[in-house]
Amino acid sequence: MLETNGLDVGLPMQSSEGLITTIERFFEPAREVLVPFLSDPLVAGVWGLIVLVSVGVLWWDLRTNNQVLGSMMKGVWTLCVFYSGPFGLAIYWYSGRTQIPNDSVWRRGFRSTSHCYSGCGAGEVVGITLAQGILALTVGWVAAVTFGFAYLFGYALTIGPLMQDGVGFKEATWDALLSETPSITVMEVFAIGTELLLASQTHMGEILFWTALAFSLSIGFLVAWPVNVLLVKYGVKEGMSNPAEMRDNTPNAA
């Protein structure tokens, strides 16, 4: 162990490893329950079927009752339901349809989180698959690479629409950093942490690799939602537009 000027430089590393060990021990009871459950092929098969049905219901509703929604939000809701199945579909039904009875900060928070979730989730899937599933990197590198992809995808999904509306790249990037960083950070700390806690030693050929990824994505959404509610409430984020305002433009409107 190296020493510099009487200071043990190994202490920070030991402290970090000790913290990780403490966290693992704290969540070990939950891990003992979840890992066998998520490793069950029957559970994975049933979940996959539920996700497909949920996506089908979403697409049916978008085509039948909510064609007026923009293509970007249709893509957002598709990814949300693909990641989280009936949970994502319930969020769409509560906050994303033109038929919602009224809007609220809670619904705006759900829409804002879903927008962030769609981009960050894609980045997380790409990052985890590349860093852990293909390259088999160590846990630290898996976390770093996945964080990087999640931020990249999350910011891109915010910067792109702003630039389409005529905002310059520099201003759009700054707006994205201010409005999205808190939400993305909280979402990814919990999502990636959950994934690595449950399946850090797995590879792409194992069921747990994919089921833990799906589970961790939903955990990330849940913890990021109150953050987005606060950001919307205090004007840091505008939140996505109220879909009910498009109601009069739907094909079935009276």
Q: What are the tens digits of pLDDT across the range 43-102? A: 999 999 999 999 999 999 999 999 999 888 899 999 999 999 999 999 999 999 999 999
Asked if 231 and 53 touch (Cβ cutoff 8 Å), the reply is: no
Does residue 228 form part of some domain? yes
Q: Which of 189, 159, 182, 158 is nearest to 230 (CA)?
A: 182
Does residue 1 form part of some domain? no
The count of structural domains within the chain is: 1
Q: Which of 64, 103, 108 is nearest to 245 (CA)?
A: 103
Give the C-alpha separation, 116 to 118, whole Å.
6
Q: Residue 165 has what pLDDT?
A: 62
The residue whose two tokens read 């599933």 is: 133
Asked if 151 and 176 touch (Cβ cutoff 8 Å), the reply is: no
Residue bearing the bigger pLDDT, 165 or 66: 66
Q: Residue 3 has what pLDDT?
A: 43
Does residue 2 form part of some domain? no
Asked if 31 and 197 touch (Cβ cutoff 8 Å), the reply is: yes
Weakest mean pLDDT among 17-31, 92-106, 216-230: 17-31
Query: Which domain covers residue 218, as residue numbers?
Result: 13-249
Confidence of residue 107 (pLDDT cuts 50, 70, 90): very high
Does residue 133 form part of some domain? yes
Q: What integer is the mean pLDDT of 149-171? A: 82
Asked if 237 and 114 touch (Cβ cutoff 8 Å), the reply is: no
Neighbours of 42 (CB within 10 A): 7
Does residue 194 form part of some domain? yes
List, in order, residues 6 or more apart from 74 with CB less than 8 Å away.
Answer: 62
Neighbours of 241 (CB within 10 A): 14
Residue bearing the bigger pLDDT, 89 or 139: 89
Does residue 8 form part of some domain? no
Rounded to the nearest integer, the mean pLDDT of the chain is 86
Our measurement of the distance from residue 183's CA atom to the centroid of its chain's CA atoms, rounded to an integer in Å, reads 10
The residue whose two tokens read 């953050």 is: 227
Does residue 148 form part of some domain? yes
Report helix, strand or coil for 3. Answer: strand
Residue bearing the bigger pLDDT, 17 or 190: 190
**Token digits of residue 235:** 């004007």
Does residue 254 form part of some domain? no
Query: φ, ψ for residue 7 (rounded to 5)?
Result: -100, 135
